[in-house]
Structure 1
Amino acid sequence: MLDISRDIQSLSNFKRNTYSAIAQMKQTGEPIILTVNGKAEVVVQDAKSYQQLLEKIEKLEAVAGIKQGLAEIKSGKTRPVAEFMQEMQQKHGISS
């Protein structure tokens, strides 16, 4: 969880203390939000945590796709596979 007192810092401070900031990110797994003129501008994250975030997003997208497919089945937006195969064979000139 983001700790405002620890995980938000100025870009200038980050530049002065880059190695300690990297060590902090590796230890906590949390990103650091960098500010410029008092406004949040950039989020910096260690590579391992970023990879984990990407993997979580991929799983969530897969779950969302499965839910959508199940909803389409439930609402009757499907057709028999034999019908689909026949249509594709005719459309692309594939012999059975």
Structure 2
Amino acid sequence: MKLSSQIKPISYLKAHAAEIVRNLGEQREPLIITQNGEAKVVMQDIESYEQTQETMALLKTLALGNRQIEEGKVQPATDVIKRLREGRQAR
């Protein structure tokens, strides 16, 4: 993906909104909108956005798990499974 070809001024967005939306869905590449020569907004299709959000959630979960490992807040899986089974049998 070459971002330089995906940079457009806000005037282009105003004049070509329908075409931009169609292209975002087909090309699945983000579009950077500039205002007064500065990048202000990134537009992307909904599927790419959802995939990005899912990826970020997974990365946050992995980071939390790594932090818990570093802090020693872990238990062997066999101990956890045993405790869960004992809890179920007690009911």
TM superposition score normalised by structure 1:
0.69
Name the residue aligned to 2:4: 4
In structure 2, the residue matched to 1:13 is 12
Q: CA RMSD in A?
A: 2.1
Preserved contact between residue 34 and residue 41 of structure 1 (Cα < 8 Å): yes
Write out the 4+ residue segments of structure 1 that deviate beyond 2 Å after TM superposition: none
Q: Which runs of 5+ in 1 are unaligned?
A: 79-96
SS at match of 2:58: helix
**Count of paired positions:** 76
The equivalent of 1:91 in structure 2 is none
Cα deviation 1:24-58 (Å, max 9, x = unaligned): 21122221110111111111122111111110000
Name the counterpart of 1:27. 26
TM-score, structure 2 as length reference: 0.72
Identity fraction in percent:
32
**Which structure 2 residue ranges, 5 or more long, are not aligned?**
75-91
Quote the residue 2:51 is aligned against: 52
